[in-house]
Chains A and B, each alone.
Chain A
């Protein structure tokens, strides 16, 4: 039970890792096929992105504007959401609010039932994956059909997505062919593993579904508060099929995915496609306002841990994220482990930040450590989220949470506390440093005693320097 008004990270759904990151990463690193697929794919997309970003003379200005627009949105989020609701309602749409995944799922199930449907077509959406909507629909006897090619591969393979943008990045063409032959009703048994033939098989399979579907479910890349306009960026046309053909459209959107003004989209229409697929523009972007062309429209606004993230002044800029996945493609850790190791629908650097924020760090304590802090993610981010600094901030929260849970200091907390005490007392600090220097003459140790032995198990203990900085400073006549 949450008390009114107090943001809690009470999110439910596909955000929690069943295993720790080191355990899951260990298995992923043993899978040579996976590493090869990921290495090829991320290298390709990194090169494409770099090319189209370099084409724009004002990329850094667009990046700064994107960050500033999102910060403005977050600073007045309540006002912009009310404005969006008014605009959508005025144009014949119906707005629903959901505190968490369960509430959002219940709302969608009721809407699908009210439309008299037992099958829905879906546009790829992070929000509906986050809340595990497909599972909730299945429990209610409703079949959800993913229509994005990669999502279809994942769904037919009874698998989990491993990348925000290319969910089947861990599968190669021959694996995909096998999945289609095994799971796709009515598929040509002579199907080859040519990507063109595989795409054609998906087109044929889904076409009659599109033409007969009564209800579609989508996410949204952006919503414009002042106009009530929603948009979906996509490539294949499956999004347009879902957004325009069925009589009822239900869109589930995180409360942070809006921008204040129509003009603001001029920034993201340039930065999102270049950052995500490495294209100047994605093939199709659809925008609609309220009930359009005779369709019924429902918008579900989802909190699910976002207000708790907003409550942390040092962490709230993660809510700028526009889900482009540029940070995944440049991350040396992601490139080797793949998305599944993160155990959340949000993998990679942004996932290592966002997943613990949405669930509370106690439910994802190893993710903030799934990074080498190299900074490539920050450089690639089109809304300038300082992911490395936020990871360090979250690591501190994990240590604090552990201390609260144990009521006794963990070794790292005890050491940090002792260091803080000593560093505040210059004479003790100087003595400590000299003592460490003297230890050079003691028989050299390569490992520390337990519990510090965990650290030295994979590292050599460094030699203390011959002379401390302070001693050097004094010897050279520096001012104290």
Chain B
């Protein structure tokens, strides 16, 4: 790159900004009188309701039966093989043919199914957040396969968006997922499934 030109564009834009702000505007401070983190109790039933509204399929089970339930869900979907990222709780692993990391994009495309955990979830918006932590893998893992099965512990469900923002690290690669891939680009009619997973199953544990 032409470093000289880049520097001068930077200096000129910053200088233009300082000139433009010659009247020294002093806006009022931001009033945080909306519902902030910790002000609303989390409601798992609301989370389920919102997921269903997005046409995700919701399953529930007790804390000691995820492995069994996961196997049932995969059998019902007819998923013979799936990718499982590093750090997925070993006790929950279903008896299916598992593909482990590292996986190439081509393998992800070919296998077509992925099983992950999540960082946390937001009840009011029906959102699951992934932060590349244990059991979640890099971002491509939950993107290329057509089927995503995500396990959410009930104690990971937060009430509202500010609760999630307060806990997440902005420097982690974050993916906020609210239902399966969708488009409303044709006459504003919602169609599930364009490029991301067209089927999203969620298992809530506990």
Q: Which residues of A contact B (CB under 8 A)?
A: 2, 4-7, 37, 40-41, 44-45, 57-58, 61-62, 64-65, 68-69, 71-72, 74-75, 77-78, 81-82, 91, 96-99, 103, 107, 110-111, 114, 147-150, 153, 166, 168-169, 172-173, 176, 195-196, 198-199, 202-203, 206-207, 210-211, 224, 227-229, 235-238, 240-241, 243-245, 255, 262-267, 269-270, 273, 277, 279-289, 292-293, 301, 303, 307-308, 310-311, 313, 316
Contacts and interface: CB of A to CB of B under 8 A. Distances in A.
Given A6-B19, A68-B29, A203-B193, A78 B14 contact: yes
Contact of A176 (B28, B162, B186, B195): B186
Interface of B: 1-2, 6, 9-23, 25-37, 50, 54, 105-106, 109, 122, 124-127, 132, 138-140, 143-144, 160-162, 165-166, 170-171, 173-189, 191, 193-197
Contact of A150 (B144, B181, B185): B185
A71 B125 contact: no
A285 B176 contact: yes
B165 A263 contact: yes
8 contacts: A68-B27, A103-B9, A198-B186, A199-B191, A203-B193, A236-B181, A244-B138, A283-B180
Contact of A281 (B12, B18, B125): B125
B13 A269 contact: no
A286 B55 CA distance: 21
Describe A's contact surface by its main secondary structure.
helix
B165 A307 contact: no
Nearest to B165: A266
B6 A172 contact: no
B11 to A, nearest CB: 8
Nearest to A72: B27
A64 B1 contact: no
A71 B139 CA distance: 33
A240 B10 CA distance: 30
Contacts of B33: 58, 61, 65
Contacts of B54: 283
A125 to B, nearest CB: 15
B184 A210 contact: no
Nearest to A286: B175
A273 B161 CA distance: 12
Nearest to B139: A244
B130 to A, nearest CB: 10
B178 A289 contact: no
Given A61-B34, A235-B181, A195 B191 contact: yes
A229 B171 contact: yes
Contacts of A5: 12, 15-16, 18-19
Describe B's contact surface by its main secondary structure.
loop
A210 B195 contact: yes
Q: Which of A7, A62, A107, A243 gathers most chain B CB within 10 Å?
A: A7
Contacts of B183: 149, 199, 235-236
Contacts of A279: 178
Nearest to B109: A211
A236 B196 contact: yes
Nearest to A197: B191
Contacts of B22: 311
A77 B140 CA distance: 34
Contacts of B28: 68, 71
Given A78-B14, A236-B182, A99 B9 contact: yes
Contact of A308 (B20, B127, B196): B20
A274 to B, nearest CB: 10
Nearest to B190: A195
